[in-house]
Structure 1
Amino acid sequence: MHQEESFPPRPLRGVRAVYARQAGCPADFADITVDFEPWEEGIEFEVHADLRTRGFVAPGESAEYQKAVAAGVQEELTALEARTTVAVATVLRAVGIHEVDSRAGSFHHAGRLAVRQALVLAYGPLPRPKRHAKSGAARKRRPA
């Protein structure tokens, strides 16, 4: 994003983010699908009335996971450059839950990932840093 822009520039629907980390037991797992809609300036978060849920979750946990997604989305969007006006309604459409490995922190990360996915969809991937050529001394081959 180079000049003053507004996020999202157009509706971005069906943005899926999966956070899965297996670094021991328990692991982390969250799978979400969200829509990013142009809205009034600021960040609005909603849960779709017909939220699709894959996997078993207790009612109290569901609300906790939804709040965690909202917090992750909020954090990632408030970290955008000052030249970007955030005017978005984020609608949580679906969640995938693992009975053992899902927890609020997993959904928080998934919310952040969803924003990153949406930014790539809206503006393209960030440029990769260029590698610097090594100096002549560093390029010398070792003797065989």
Structure 2
Amino acid sequence: MHACYARQASCPSYYADVLLDFRRFGGWGGGVRVAISQGLVIDSWLDDEELPLEYLTHLAEGVAEELAENHPEYHADTLVVVRAVKLHPTDSNIFAFKGVGRVAVRVAVERLRGEQA
């Protein structure tokens, strides 16, 4: 599924765009974990851009917070598999990835509820 978090009112700005999957994955005692798919695609305005690991930590925090605060019925052992990421050289940051984690949960819950209807 696709999620984007883009905020630009003034400085600083925030941008994170991800393609990911959610999976239930038991066995580690609860919480949210993030995995990088083997064929991870990074789209960036910079040729040598790499995905900073702290972005993934904050993505997991955003997912966990959104699940706990607004969707506790889905909060369990959750694995987030990151398949693709778009980065901006100045606007992609930890705050943007925390925000996109929250947005991703909202999109996933909307999609899940639509399938159950």
TM above 0.5, yes or no, is yes
* Structure 1: 5+ residue stretches without partners: 1-14, 125-144
Query: What CA distance in whole angstroms lies between the structure 2 residues aligned with 1:85 and 1:106?
Result: 22
Larger proportion of helix: 2
4+ aligned runs moved over 3 Å, structure 1:
56-59, 80-85
Alpha carbons 2:19, 2:85 under 8 Å: kept: yes
Q: Cα deviation per residue 1:78-97 (whole Å; 9 max; x = unaligned)?
A: 22455545243211111110
Alignment-derived partner of residue 77 in structure 1 = 67
The change in CA–CA distance for 1:122 and 1:85 in structure 2 (over 3 A counts) is: same
Q: Cα deviation per residue 1:28-72 (whole Å; 9 max; x = unaligned)?
A: 11101110123227333212232211103754x611211111111
Tell which has more relative contact order, 1 or 2 (C-alpha 8 A, sep 6+): 2
Alignment-derived partner of residue 110 in structure 2 = 120
Structure 1 stretch displaced more, 95-104 or 42-51:
42-51
The change in CA–CA distance for 1:82 and 1:16 in structure 2 (over 3 A counts) is: closer
Scaled by the length of structure 1, the TM-score of the pair is: 0.65
Question: Residue 5 of structure 2 aligns to a residue in which SS?
Answer: strand
Query: What CA distance in whole angstroms lies between the structure 2 residues aligned with 1:103 and 1:85?
Result: 25
Alpha carbons 2:37, 2:82 under 8 Å: kept: yes
Alignment-derived partner of residue 62 in structure 1 = 52
Alignment-derived partner of residue 22 in structure 2 = 36
- Structure index of larger Rg: 1
The change in CA–CA distance for 1:86 and 1:62 in structure 2 (over 3 A counts) is: same
Identity of matched residues, %: 34
